[in-house]
Amino acid sequence: MRGLLPPDAVPWVPELFYVECGAVLRRWDLNTILSKAQIATAVEELMAWPLRVTQVRGLFFDAWGLRANLIFAGASM
């Protein structure tokens, strides 16, 4: 995703973003999809990425409005 954004872009993410990334990285670690070193690098890069984090609560009404077209979790991300 970072490669698709302008270099100076600082995207917004819901705080759930980190939970979802952690779940994927854990699965990749347990299934040896990535090496331990690659997982460690991914975690370091994720934590170094300057993201603006918002609470999911503030996105609730917008996500609810999209419920007919998107699953709720996807609409709040």
pLDDT in tens, 5-30: 888 888 888 888 999 999 999 999 99
Please indicate, yes or no, whether the overall pTM of this predicted structure exceeds 0.85.
no
pLDDT in tens, 28-45: 999 999 999 999 999 999
Cβ-Cβ contacts under 8 Å for 55 (sequence gap 6 or more): 14, 15
| Mean pLDDT calculated for residue range 52-66 | 87
Report which of 71, 58, 68, 66 is spatially closest to residue 12, judged by C-alpha positions.
Answer: 58
Residue 1 pLDDT > 60: no
Domain limits, the chain: 24-77
pLDDT score recorded for residue 9: 85
